[in-house]
C-alpha cells in the first residue's frame, strides 16, 4: 500500500516559528504486517531542541520534550493504544480501556525508531508490529491520531496534531483520531 500523507497543525495556543511544516505518513506493509509511520519536520531544525541518540529502549515521559505520537483505535472500540517515539531512539507504548482510563504497558517486541536530520529537515521513522496487538490486528478500520510535541531551543513546547478539539492540547481526545486507515 502506498503511504497516506497528512499535515499536522499547531494548536492555536502554541506555535514554533522555526517550523514551516510537519507532515506524517502511514505505510502498511504486507510482509511483515507492520505499520511504518514517518514524521517529517521542515524548517529551521537547528532551532529545535532534539534529544541526543541513546540505546533504543522503552522509556516513559518522552512527551516532555520533542516527541512524535500515534494514537490507534480499532473501529467501534473505546480502547486505544498510544505510542511515543523520540528522536533519541527511545519509545513508549500504552493501552487505555477508554479516554485516559486504565493505562497499561502492553507486552510487545521493541519498536524500531530511526531519526535523521539534514539542513532544513528532520525525519523520524517508526515501525509498529501490529500482529503483536490483537485488537488492532483484527480491525478492518483503525482510527489514527497522529501528533508531535516539539521543543524549541528556548525550551518552549508546541503541540501539533491532525486535529485539535479543545482550547487545550489533548491528543487523547478521540475526536482528534482524524485519520481512518483501512487495514485490508
Q: Which helix (H) or strand (E) holds 13?
A: none
Domain that holds residue 95: 4-182
What is the tens place of the pLDDT at every residue in 143-153?
A: 999 999 999 99
Q: How confident is the model at residue 2 (pLDDT cuts 50, 70, 90)?
A: low
Q: What does the block give as the cell for 135?
A: 485488537
Residue 34 — pLDDT band, cuts 50, 70, 90? confident
30, three cell numbers: 504486507
Q: Decide if 12 contacts 163 (C-beta within 8 A).
A: no
Asked if pLDDT for residue 37 goes beyond 70, the answer is yes
Its pTM stands at 0.94
Domain tally, the chain:
1
**CA contacts within 13 A on the Cβ side of 145:** 25
Cell of 60: 516513559
Best CA proximity match to 81, nearest among 177, 9, 184: 177
Residue 112 pLDDT greater than 70, yes or no = yes
Average the pLDDT over 22-30 and give the result: 86
What value does the mean pLDDT of the chain take?
92
Tell me the per-residue pLDDT of 39-74, one tens digit each, with 9 for 90 and over.
Answer: 999 999 999 999 889 988 999 999 999 999 999 999
pLDDT tens for each residue of 8-18: 999 999 988 99
**For residue 32, cis peptide bond before it (omega within 30 degrees of 0):** yes
Confidence of residue 79 (pLDDT cuts 50, 70, 90): very high
> What CATH number does the domain containing 75 carry?
2.60.40.1190
Amino acid at each position: 500500500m502506498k503511504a497516506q500523507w497528512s499535515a499536522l497543525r499547531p494548536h492555536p495556543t502554541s506555535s514554533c516559528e522555526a517550523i514551516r511544516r510537519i507532515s506524517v505518513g502511514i505505510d502498511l506493509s504486507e510482509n511483515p504486517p507492520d505499520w511504518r509511520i514517518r514524521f517529517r519536520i521542515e524548517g529551521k531544525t537547528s532551532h529545535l531542541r532534539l534529544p541526543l541518540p541513546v540505546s533504543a529502549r522503552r522509556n516513559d515521559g518522552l512527551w516532555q520534550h520533542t516527541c512524535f505520537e500515534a494514537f490507534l483505535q480499532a473501529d467501534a472500540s473505546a480502547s486505544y493504544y498510544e505510542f511515543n517515539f523520540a528522536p533519541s531512539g527511545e519509545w513508549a507504548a500504552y493501552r487505555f480501556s477508554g479516554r485516559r482510563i486504565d493505562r497499561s504497558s502492553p507486552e510487545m517486541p521493541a519498536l524500531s525508531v530511526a531519526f535523521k536530520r539534514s539542513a532544513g529537515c528532520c525525519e523520524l521513522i517508526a515501525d509498529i508490529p501490529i500482529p503483536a496487538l490483537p485488537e488492532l490486528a483484527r480491525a478492518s478500520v483503525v482510527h489514527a491520531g497522529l501528533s508531535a510535541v516539539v521543543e524549541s531551543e528556548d525550551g518552549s513546547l508546541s503541540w501539533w496534531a491532525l486535529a485539535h478539539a479543545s482550547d487545550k492540547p489533548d491528543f487523547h481526545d478521540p475526536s482528534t483520531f482524524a485519520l481512518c486507515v483501512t487495514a485490508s
